[in-house]
Amino acid sequence: MNINSKFKDFILTNLMLYLFAMGVWSFWSYFAFVGLDKMDWQGSIVYLPHGIRVLGICFFGIKSLPALMAAELTGPLFINPEQYMGVWSIASMASLASVLIARELVKYSQSNIKGSIVGPIKFENFRLLVLVIILSGLLNSISVNIIITYLEPSINLDPIVVGRFFIGDVLGSLVLILFLSVTFTSLRLNKLALPSSK
Amino acid sequence: MKSFIQNLNSILEMLESVEHEINLAGYSLTEKKVFFTIVQLTVKEGSCNITDVINDSNLSRSTVYKAIKKLEKNMLLNVKQSSFDKRESYLNVIS
């Protein structure tokens, strides 16, 4: 692959991921912020944007980071500027790092087991992806809350909030993947999308 | 460019494997057509047999039989033999 082709690949990956991320952010913001009092439901418990981080990093690797970072910074600003300014932007970088660490942990854990039931390391196997979702959710909930508490003294570290973050991230990622799966399957069954290469 | 398409295809393969695992949409268009025909005929006529489904859906007898077998196996349908005519079977949607 020559440099020109690599550059095109990089631009295309980031553009596609950014647009997709912004779409999910807009969708999620509706549930999270718009008419929350009317719905009597805590939208943030299903944090869909975590799913984009997992899909982006697991399938596109480090080259997806610019798009994911841009989405982390502009997504919340675009929707609700007051709530996510300042320390939240730094915390969202920790969220991306937690997905990267989780991915590496999963890769490392499987590399030492011969004949592992979830091996080889291919994220087409969704069980591995679920493992990354759970691990990254755990790391994210702890790291983000520690950063927020450290940088914003008015906020206290609350285990219930950590738990809420974890559940939100895991549920959000699973819902996003499930939604994409059902959408893709329906498109394929109705011959609106080409079947995969299998 | 090729790498981008390969990565995208990996995501699609993963999404397909999720669908196969949980079997949310594991029915073909023909099977769905048979199921919806049975539902519609039951609502319109009050009851429905296999011949009605064949006539209404314009599908072959063997296709309709196969679809009914699968739907019955997955507990979506109940096939009951008529007490008046043993050659006739009534289809009931399990709600």
The answer to whether the CB atoms of A126 and B1 lie below 8 A apart is no
Tell me whether residue B81 is in a domain: yes
Tell me whether residue B1 is in a domain: no
d(CA A49, CA A133): 12
Q: Which CATH number is A104's domain given?
A: 1.10.1760
Tell me whether residue A176 is in a domain: yes
Radius of gyration over alpha carbons of chain A, in Å? 18
Which value, to the nearest 10 degrees, does the dihedral of the CA atoms of residues A82, A85, A88, A89 take? 140
Task: Give the count of domains, chain A.
Answer: 1
Enumerate chain A positions whose Cβ falls within 8 A of a Cβ in B: 1, 5, 8-9, 12-13, 16, 55, 59-60, 122-126, 129, 177-178, 180-182, 184-186, 188-190, 196-198
Closest to B4 (Cβ–Cβ): which among A9, A129, A181? A9
Tell me whether residue B19 is in a domain: no
Task: Give the count of domains, chain B.
Answer: 1
Tell me whether residue B36 is in a domain: yes
Q: What is the pLDDT of residues A77-101, one digit of tens each?
A: 766 666 656 677 788 889 999 999 9
Query: Residue A152's domain spans which residues?
Result: 3-189
Residue A113 has pLDDT above 60, yes or no: no
Tell me whether residue A114 is in a domain: yes
The residue-averaged pLDDT of A160-189 equals 85
The whole-number pLDDT of residue B72 equals 87
Tell me whether residue B2 is in a domain: no
Radius of gyration over alpha carbons of chain B, in Å? 18
Q: Evaluate the omega torsion of the peptide bond into residue A120 and state whether it is cis, within 30 degrees of 0.
A: yes
Average pLDDT over chain A reads 80
Tell me whether residue A51 is in a domain: yes
Tell me whether residue B14 is in a domain: no
Strands (E), chain A: none
Q: Which residue has the higher pLDDT, B39 or A193?
A: B39
Query: Residue B38's domain spans which residues?
Result: 27-93
Q: Which CATH number is B85's domain given?
A: 1.10.10.10
Nearest partner of A25 among A80, A64, A63, judged by Cα: A80
pTM of the model: 0.70
Tell me whether residue A13 is in a domain: yes
Tell me whether residue B82 is in a domain: yes
The residue-averaged pLDDT of A109-122 equals 59
The answer to whether the CB atoms of A178 and B16 lie below 8 A apart is no
Joined together, the tokens standing for residue A192 give 């609106």
Q: With contact defined as beta carbons under 8 Å apart, do A187 and A193 qualify?
A: yes
By CB atoms closer than 10 A (0-12, 13-18, 19+), residue A44 is middle
Tell me whether residue B52 is in a domain: yes
Tell me whether residue A198 is in a domain: no
Joined together, the tokens standing for residue A55 give 């899909």
Joined together, the tokens standing for residue A145 give 């809350």
The whole-number pLDDT of residue A135 equals 93
Q: Which residue has the higher pLDDT, A149 or A1?
A: A149
Residue A198 has pLDDT above 50, yes or no: no
Q: What is the pLDDT of residues B14-73, one digit of tens each?
A: 887 887 776 555 677 788 788 888 888 888 888 888 888 898 888 898 999 999 998 888
d(CA A174, CA A170): 6
Tell me whether residue A58 is in a domain: yes
Whose tokens are 């498109």? That residue is A187
* Structure ipTM: 0.70
